[in-house]
Structure 1
Amino acid sequence: MNYVNTTTKARVSLSAIAAEYPDKSFPASPTDADLADTGYACLQYQAPPTYDVITHGVREADPAIVDGQWVYQWEVYELDADTVVANAVAAQKQQEAAQKLAGVQFQGVMCSATSSDQNGITAVGSAYQMLGDDFQPTSFQFENGNTLILTTDNMKSFISVWTAFRQSFFSV
């Protein structure tokens, strides 16, 4: 639990209160009644409010009395334009990365399309092109943990579906 100086509204620890009142004995978890006449009170935690993390930030504000108890307070504030742009770009990249990892469905398997997957698929595709009908079934594990058996029967269809999905992340 945290505590508050009821005059300055500063957050303090129990050890700081005990150091200020060395002759007073406090229980391990004092109540407001235990802190009476010290100028301190229990500080009830309140989670920060929900806000748009792209356009706003949140910071602690001075505690306030709510329904007779000292409670954490939060201030939501607008971010500057450069930060909003940077946040939007970062959010777009995170969303794109999540979509690539989720992948595209092919024969009941969600096939991720990350850079690592692309490197592996390129290698398997090269082997398929070089070997033709001699290409052996290949168990390909995608970065999302799923596995697909690539064969001469499904390779062209897979490459068509997977490449279209992967290319959807590249803008012209």
Structure 2
Amino acid sequence: MNVWQWLYDLLAVFMLPFYLSALLNLMEKPANIRKTCLACSIYIIDTIIGLLYTIYFVQFWFSENDSGSASGTANTIAANAVNVLRRASADLSQSASPSRELFLTVSGTLITTALRIYFCFVFLSFTKQLLFQAAQNKKNYRTDSISEEANYPSTVLGNLKRFIYGLEVRSKHFLDEHLL
């Protein structure tokens, strides 16, 4: 594995606690949307990074398999992908052929990427609905989910919680501005 693969895998491990925290918070306190906004913002960033990594993977894959030319342009990559898909669809009757494995890899990557983009839009839609409900609550009942004060002790864990609280508030304000 190269450095980019390590960084991408480490990013996925670091994002997991934020997703779990948002899920548990949503199940316990549906009125508190700060954690949901932070998880949505992180998921958008993670999706963009995942798309960039997928593009890097495709470029790396086809530049390694392309013996005819050393150029890694998008047209060459697209042409190679189309040729691979044509060869693979013709060889589907063969088991464990290299072109079939390549077809399954490419199609699996495309399907996974499409699903990830779809769920990004679902998460954005859900967060937008929560923000709209919070705006209505603030207008009608004069309550706000970020009005509570973040009082954490001056320890390392307290500083981390204060930092995450700040990220939650900033992500809520950012999504308020861009979704409503």
Higher relative strand content: 1
TM-score w.r.t. structure 1 length? 0.26
TM-score w.r.t. structure 2 length? 0.25
Q: Which has the higher contact order (CA 8 A, sep 6+)?
A: 2
Higher relative helix content: 2
